Amino acid sequence: MAKIKIGVLVSGRGSNLQAIIDAAKKGEIAADIAVVVSNVPGAFALERAKKAKIPAVVVDSKAYDKKEAYEAEIIRVLQSHKVDLVCLAGYMKLITPRIMAEFHNRIMNIHPALLPAFPGLHVQKKALEYGVKVSGCTVHFVDEGTDTGPIIIQAAVPVLEADTEESLSARILKEEHKIYPKAIDLFAKGKLKVEGRRIKVKR
């Protein structure tokens, strides 16, 4: 089976990027990373890409006066690398309708909560304050809302009495590293079918 090409958008340390790199290297996903793009110069994720000999590109969002120009460059870089799927891995910019139109149902995100609960930022803090007994993570397709797209895979993580924001985050991150490559592999093998809000997994 031919492998698909992934473009990964990052802003920070890139631990989920590393999980995808490792899965691709081991042949666990039918995909290769064609390019890593960061909107933040000096993001550690870029070093991970370079170490893995993956093209690493900086498109500094602060260097563009107009959002449209920034978006156009992101799209240009992804298309120039013939990307089939865009994966967000700690990318701290909103995906706009213009980018979504170019990659319809081909942009994935990983979120450290069981959506639709606790979208947005600081989600472990919100979960602990709310008193939930179970948290987790979600891989979903990106749509126009904030963490509202159709859900592909979720993993549950029990919340312990002694949990802090940091300890819960660390346990959830381990599950993120497992389910993100799985979701990518399902897409790569053509096993995901989007029907409205639901995603059916073909067997």
- The residues carrying an active-site annotation are 111
User: CB 69: neighbour CB atoms within 10 A?
Assistant: 11
ω into residue 116 within 30 of 0, thus cis? Answer: yes
- Distance (Å, whole) CA 102 – CA 163: 41
